[in-house]
């Protein structure tokens, strides 16, 4: 299934996207919980599972998918699995081995979608967070177009159906789109997107290039200590969202997601709680009026939960923890 087919299916057959933020590095979650959540989600009807090598639980998530295939709930072709290339593997010769290693962990023959996780590259090697003697992350600068060529080769080899990017701005996207000899365009750009960061410019750009914008942290992020400034306003506590939610008889989370869906954005929502996983799937039996859409439009602040500094800082901290846990 191509990504646009998924999108079409999503709007035609009420299939919302589901992002699994499957974590080793947040102590409150275990890898097993990620597997359990995957099974619950598939039972509820979710078909898009967004994961990444970085999340450290492709083994458990793959096992859950295969269990749901084995028990006849779904077929492989019903599932849309997204994986991501981490920043230590952007050197062209490292791309395919990285993908193959994820596939092996997952117990799958192919991914539906494979993304460059961020435009930022770290020093190539097996260390996810290579650091210098002062504890600073070591960056590297492979031409992202060469990484992209290696992504294209993975598609040609049948290891992945579609390829895309994450956390790219329009300039970085353009670099790839204008690359000499470009074979495949990125089908999507997965970025932070919510009521406080409406991404209207990037969305317009992506639409003009037929690139799907996929939003993460749509509920206001997981608000994990050290990653997120807790003083930032929280999506689910926004008075406008709460008022609209009361009016339409839905939860704030459902309104926050429905707002993005109606603007043509694919939404990813992470939950490891069965009740919320179910609730977050109930997005296709109600609509926001133009007036409500405009009211929610008004709360945009171009505010990011994850800044790149915070991201790199938090991720390097995670690196330590990952290594401790193994
Ligand atoms: N591509 C990238 O570079 C990148 C970067 C950062 C993050 N992400 C992804 O973005 C994903 C989502 O971001 P996120 O985890 O920051 O945030 P999110 O999906 O906005 O929020 C997740 C949080 O909301 C809670 N929640 C879920 N449904 C709810 C509901 N109906 N009512 C109230 N609370 C609800 C979840 O709690 P429970 O689980 O306890 O239910 C969890 O704490 C992450 O999983 C991560 O993979 C991607
Ligand atoms: C997004 O934010 C901008 C700037 O705050 C605002 O003008 C616009 O109405 C918002 N909504 C959309 C859909 O662009």
What's the 11 CA to ligand 1 centre distance in angstroms?
Answer: 22
Find where tokens 């930032």 sit: 232
* pTM for this prediction: 0.91
**Residue pLDDT, tens place only, 141-151:** 999 999 999 99
Ligand positioned closest to the Cα atom of 57: 1
Name the pLDDT band for 313 (thresholds 50, 70, 90): low
Q: What is the mean pLDDT of the chain?
A: 87
How many angstroms does the Cα of residue 215 sit away from the middle of ligand 2?
16
The single residue listed with the structure tokens 């010769």 is: 93
Residues 275-279 have a mean pLDDT of 93
Contacts of 324 (CB under 8 A, 6+ apart): none
In the reported structure, the alpha carbon of residue 132 is separated from the centroid of ligand 1 by a whole-number distance in angstroms of 31
Nearest protein Cα to ligand 1, atom 14? 221
Task: Give the ligand 1 atom nearest the CA of 252.
Answer: 32
Rounded to the nearest angstrom, the gap between the alpha carbon of residue 302 and the centroid of all alpha carbons in its chain is: 19
89 CA distance to ligand 1 middle (Å): 25
Contact 164, 115 (CB under 8 A): yes
Kindly report the protein residue whose alpha carbon is nearest to atom 1 of ligand 1.
166
Collect all residues with Cβ–Cβ distance below 8 Å to 67 and sequence separation of at least 6: 39
- Return the ligand 1 atom nearest residue 216 CA: 10
**Per-residue pLDDT at 14 exceeds 90:** no
The secondary structure of residue 230, as a DSSP letter, is T
> pLDDT tens digits, residue range 59-105?
999 999 999 999 999 999 999 999 999 999 999 999 999 999 999 99
302 alpha carbon to ligand 2 midpoint, in Å?
Answer: 9
Residue with CA nearest ligand 1 atom 13: 217
130: helix, strand or coil: coil
User: Could you tell me which residue, 187 or 18, shows the higher pLDDT?
Assistant: 187
Is the beta carbon of 57 within 6 A of some atom in ligand 2? no
List active site positions: 55
Q: Is any atom of ligand 2 closer than 6 Å to the C-beta of 200?
A: yes
C-beta of residue 192 within 8 angstroms of C-beta of residue 306: yes
Q: Check pocket membership of 282 for ligand 1, CB cut-off 6 A.
A: no
- Which pLDDT band holds residue 222 (cuts at 50, 70, 90)? confident
Mutation to probe ligand 1, out of 22, 122, 221 (largest number of atoms < 8 A from CB): 221
Q: Which ligand is nearest to the CA of 302?
A: 2
Q: What percent of the chain has pLDDT over 70?
A: 85
Q: Does residue 254 line the site of ligand 1, with CB under 6 A?
A: no
Close Cβ partners of 301 (under 8 Å, ≥ 6 residues apart): 196, 197, 233
Selection from 240, 223, 244 nearest residue 232 by Cα: 223
Closest C-alpha to 292, from 253, 242, 236: 242
Asked if 18 and 64 touch (Cβ cutoff 8 Å), the reply is: no
Question: Which residue ranges form the domains of the chain, and what is each CATH number?
Answer: 3-325 (3.20.20.100)
Strand, helix or coil for residue 82: strand
Q: How far is the CA of 241 from the centre of ligand 2 (A)?
A: 16
* Spatial separation of the C-alpha atoms in residues 114 and 101, rounded to whole Å: 13
pLDDT of residue 230: 81
Contacts of 6 (CB under 8 A, 6+ apart): 15, 48, 80, 112
For residue 294 and ligand 2, the question of a CB distance below 6 A is answered with no
């Amino acid at each position: 299934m191509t990504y646009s087919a998924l999108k079409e299916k999503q709007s035609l057959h009420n299939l919302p996207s589901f992002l699994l933020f499957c974590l080793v590095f947040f102590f409150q979650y275990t890898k097993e919980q990620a597997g359990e959540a995957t099974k619950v989600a598939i039972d509820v009807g979710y078909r898009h599972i967004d994961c990444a090598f970085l999340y450290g639980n492709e083994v458990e998530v793959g096992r859950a998918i295969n269990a749901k295939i084995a028990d006849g709930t779904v077929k492989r072709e019903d599932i849309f699995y997204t994986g991501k290339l981490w920043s230590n593997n952007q050197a062209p010769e490292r791309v395919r081995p990285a993908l193959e290693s994820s596939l092996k962990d997952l117990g799958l023959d192919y991914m539906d979608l494979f993304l460059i996780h961020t435009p930022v590259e770290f020093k190539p090697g097996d260390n996810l967070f290579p650091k210098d003697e002062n504890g600073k992350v070591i960056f590297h600068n492979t031409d992202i177009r060469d990484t992209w060529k290696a992504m294209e080769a993975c598609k040609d080899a049948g290891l992945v159906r579609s390829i895309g990017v994450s956390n790219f701005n329009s300039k970085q996207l353009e670099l790839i789109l204008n690359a000499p000899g470009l074979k495949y365009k990125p089908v999507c750009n997965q970025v932070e997107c919510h009521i406080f960061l409406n991404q209207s410019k990037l969305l317009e750009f992506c639409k003009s290039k037929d690139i799907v914008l996929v939003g993460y942290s749509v509920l206001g992020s997981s608000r994990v200590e050290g990653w997120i400034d807790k003083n930032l306003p929280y999506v689910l506590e926004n008075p406008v969202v709460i008022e609209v939610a009361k009016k339409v008889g839905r939860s704030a989370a459902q309104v926050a997601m429905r707002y993005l869906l109606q603007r043509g954005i694919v939404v990813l929502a992470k939950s490891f709680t069965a009740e919320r996983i179910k609730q977050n799937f109930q997005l296709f039996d109600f609509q926001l009026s133009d007036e409500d859409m405009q009211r929610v439009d008004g709360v945009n602040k171009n505010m990011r939960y994850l800044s790149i500094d915070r991201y790199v800082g938090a991720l390097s901290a995670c690196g330590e923890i990952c290594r401790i846990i193994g």
